[in-house]
Structure 1
């Protein structure tokens, strides 16, 4: 799996793909959120890429 995570001006984003391009995930979160979304984003990535 290849990708990047990052943040700027309180926005957070994750974008990943498999080497063959068959699975891709992109998530963007705005600054208006009740809690830190990192655990939820990592859980989503686990399901998307690991089943």
Structure 2
């Protein structure tokens, strides 16, 4: 932690239409690159299958 700052998180929650599957994704701002592809792949497996 630098200068007394707290980490911020990005988070999203999703649910299948039938309500049988839910997922929450939380990311810290300290990642390299664009996380969109990884989040999309995770949600595909967690919610859409």
Bigger strand fraction? 1
The structure, 1 or 2, with the larger RCO (C-alpha pairs under 8 Å, 6+ apart) is 2
Q: TM-score range by the shorter chain?
A: 0.5 to 0.7
Instruction: Report the RMSD for the aligned CA atoms in angstroms.
Output: 1.7
TM-score by length of 1: 0.64
Unaligned runs of 5+ in 2: 1-7
TM-score by length of 2: 0.66
Which protein shows a greater Rg?
2
Where has structure 1 moved over 4 Å in runs of 4 or more?
none
